């Protein structure tokens, strides 16, 4: 009787987890963005002798 509701609830919970992961990833990349760019630039310049 409640099988469809439970299945829909599972999809909503899965979507909320994906949204949470995406938000955390965006926040981390914003916080470390300049550091990551600087590190990439340094490695790239060292590899181009």
Q: 13 is written with which tokens?
A: 């919970």
Range(s) of the domain holding residue 17: 1-49
Give residue 9's pLDDT band: very low, low, confident or very high (50, 70, 90). Answer: confident
pLDDT tens digits along 20-39: 999 999 999 999 988 988 99
pLDDT at 48 over 90: no
Average pLDDT of every residue of the chain: 87
Measured at the alpha carbon of residue 12, what is the angle toward residues 11 and 13, in degrees to the nearest 5?
Answer: 90
Q: What is the pLDDT of residue 1?
A: 52
CA 6 vs. chain centroid, Å, equals 27
**Into how many domains does the chain fold?**
1
pTM: 0.61
């Amino acid at each position: 009787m409640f099988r469809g509701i439970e299945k829909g609830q599972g999809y909503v919970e899965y979507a909320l987890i994906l949204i949470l992961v995406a938000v955390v990833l965006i926040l981390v990349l914003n916080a470390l963005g300049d550091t990551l760019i600087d590190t990439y630039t340094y490695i790239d310049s060292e590899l181009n002798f």
